[in-house]
Each structure stands twice: as C-alpha cells, then as structure tokens.
Amino acid sequence: MDVVNPATGECVDTYEEHTESEVDAALARAEDAFASWRDRSVRERERLLADAADVLREHEREYAETMTREMGKPISQAISEVQKCAWLCDHYAEHASAYLDADAHPSPPGTTVTTEYEPLGPVLAVMPWNYPFWQVFRFAAPYLTAGNVGLLKHASNVPGCAAAIADVFERAGYPEDVFQTLLIPGDRVERVVADDRVRAATLTGSGPAGRSLASTAGEHLKKTVLELGGSDPFVVLDDADVQTAASVGAWARNQNGGQSCIAAKRFVVADAVYDEFVDALVANAESLTVGDPTSEDTDVGPQASRELLETLHEQVEASVDAGATVETGGEPLDRDGAFYPPTVLTDVPAGCPADTEELFGPVAAVYRVDGEDAAVRKANDTDFGLGASVWTTDTDRGQRVASRIDAGCVYVNELVKSDPRVPFGGVGESGYGRELSEAGIQEFVNRKTVWVADEPDTDVPTE
C-alpha cells in the first residue's frame, strides 16, 4: 500500500498488505481476546476509554499530521478531528454504563423480567479515508466498551492512520488484540465478513461497497450497520438570515475539501432571497484559502487523490455541458497536488451529475424554488437521506419543515454534524442503522430477555 501525499503527489510511505495467513491469525486472536474481554466490567472498559481520550489529547499533533500527510486534511481541521475523537471517548466513558444497564419490564407477581445487553464478538469495521480518525472511533469507542472486539479494515490510502489508531489503544492499556487493524484491499473484505469468527460488520463508504458487504453478511445472518453517501439539502427559506446562512453554507460545503457525506451539497433557496444568497455564497466561497494543508491558515486542502479530483471535475463538466452555470471555480488549480477550488453551480438542470449524483468535493449546486412546499419537494428529490439543514428566523416554521424532510437528521439554523450525544445515520441510499449515543452502543449487542420466577409456574402455557 503506497501512501501518496495528495498535496505534492509524492509517495511518502509504503505498507505491506497482510497475507491470508496473517488475516487468519488475526481473526483467531480476536476470538481469543473476546473470550476474556467480554467478562471485563463495563466500568473497567470505561476507564480504559477515558485513558484513550487522554492519549489522543497528548498526541493530537502527531496524529493530526499523519492525517494531513495521507489524505490532505488541513492541519487545523485534523487537530479538531483528534479532539472530537477524545470528546467521543469521554462521552462513552461517562455514559456507557447507563446505556448498557439492564431494562426492567412489567411482569407477573413473583417474577422479574429484564433485557440485558451482551456483546456479540469480533466486529469488522470497513472505514473511509475522509475522516480517518473520527469514523473509526465512532465505531470503536461504543462497540469496544460494550464488550465486543474490533477489526479495522481502513481505506488503503490511510494505513498510517490505521496504525496510529491501534497505537492509541495500545498506549491506553487495552488488552492485546481487543483492537486490530487488517491491511487488506477492498476485494478481500468479503472473505473476512463470511468468516464464522466475525459476528457483525459496519461500513461507512459508498453505496456499492455497502451493498456488497450487506449481501455477504446477509448470507451468513450477520448484523450490519451502513452509513453510505449523502446529497444533503441546505434549505434557505424566504425569512432566513441570508448572510449568516451563506457564511455557514460555504463552510458546510467546503470543510474537509468538501469530502464529507454530510456536507451541504444541494442549496435549495427561496426565490425571494435567491439572488442575495447566491452573491453571498460565492463571496464566502471565494474568501476561503486553498493551499498547503500543513499551514494553519489553509481552509481547503487538496482532494484526497488525483483520481478523485478527476472524477469530480468530470461531474462538473458534464453538468455544465447539460446547462449548469459556473458562478465561481469549476477548474482544477494549476499547481502541484490534487487541488480543486470551491465551486458554485447555478441553473442546475434535472438529471445532470450535480443534480442526481453525490459530488464528493467542494462543489455546491444551487436551486431556485418558489415557496416552502417547492423547497420541501426539491429537498426530498433524491435517493439519499442522510442529513438536511433548514434556515429560517421562525423556529416553529423550521421545525415544521424539518419534519417534512426525509433524512436521518435535520438541523434548523445549524450545519449538519455528528455529535456523540445524539443518534446518527441515514435512510434510503444513505444506509441503515444508527451510530453514537445510546442507539449506537446498542446496535451490536444481544438484547437478551431474562425472566426469573421465584417459583415454577404450574400452569403450562399453550404456546
């Protein structure tokens, strides 16, 4: 696995893939580790997770620089990502016991009925490169604390991040093999999912990858959670604070180089404020600094690879050929590295790539709509359903519109974000299942009913 710095195009490191025998040995070790890890108390697992948070904070610059080198994230955003992972660990270190505490149910006199939450075993996580720490900790923090053990198959362009995350758990004092990383390409995932020692799998990534993993897991009756792509609408109603919406919208589209499933991608704007909003969005997009991701002043770094940039530009060109107008940007920058500028497209015709596909880069598609009902229809005019954002000075109206949008989460007067305190996930082509909060930690557990009677029931039920 060659690590190519997307800001320079230079190969900066090489990692050897794990052989089949090495993967088999890792699965055996995971199974052995689970046998003892599951018996650790939740309190003990919480303490180890709190130690992992301390490790992240102590080494945040080191881990951030690995991200920046491997996938081009601006260093300030990479540091924030490490800090957010530490916050996530803090959250589950404080609340996992409550989330996993047995639930009591109504029962006849002389009986006690509870639901207990028991771990399943080794869980495979197939994770993407765009948030190479956050996506991994989003699975690892809750699932390990619930008593499962983790097997990470990270994206092939960020093997250093995978190794660094394993280092976090080692430094925190986790038992050996509770968390392992598998350096394998995507075409070897199916065999791991099918292995009897793997009890569940989670994937964050593309629709085709999600379907493939879910198909294999389904054949073997294994639980899965999928967080796939998104084409999030950013709805600006006629009573919105336009300047604030445009400022936040430009950042919501362009942070992390626009390479985010929950980035604002389709800007649905009421006719009454459309011209003002487009002018402000363009001005804010043009004010962002594109450049060296190691500089603290950089807002937008390179795309994660030259191939990803080329795919994005092909989508932009096809949309322009179909009739879209480029308000700003629209061409790769003439410099070393995979740099694409913040781009705004208007007059986006139905059926073009900017309208129907996920543009995984700093390209905003803007639509003019006539009124609230039209805005809701356009927001829902997608097969994706991950997140959405609604902008209005009337919060009651915002909540009413939010309830009509088909998505896993809708934020009113906020950009879409994932937060440890609330469930996160999508519907439709954006996947299923939930991460984070109580819902996330309970995804990969056995919800076991335990019925205890003081005395045997002599009245044998009929069924």
Tell me the two tokens of residue 3.
Answer: 């690590």
Of 31, 60, 227, 358, the active-site residue reads: 227
How far is 76 from 427, CA to CA, in rounded Å? Answer: 32
Q: What percent helix, strand, coil does the chain show, rounded to 5?
A: 45, 20, 35
Greatest pairwise CA separation for the chain in angstroms: 83
| Nearest alpha-carbon partner for 444 in 218, 211, 224, 127 | 224
Closest CA to 405 of 259, 235, 261, 270: 235
CA dist., res. 205 & res. 207, Å (int): 7
Beta bridge partners of 105: 113
What is the β-pairing status of strands 325-328 and 264-270?
Answer: unpaired
Which member of 261, 352, 358, 435 is catalytic?
261
Is 261 one of the annotated active-site residues of the chain?
Answer: yes
Q: What does DSSP say about strands 111-119 and 10-14: parallel, antiparallel, or unpaired?
A: unpaired
Q: What letter would DSSP give residue 51?
A: H
Is 227 catalytic? The answer is: yes
Quick one: 311 exposed, middle or buried, by C-beta within 10 A (0-12, 13-18, 19+)?
Answer: middle
Cα gap 285→45, rounded to integer Å:
44
Question: Residue 170 corresponds to which amino acid?
Answer: E
| Catalytic residue positions, numbered | 227, 261
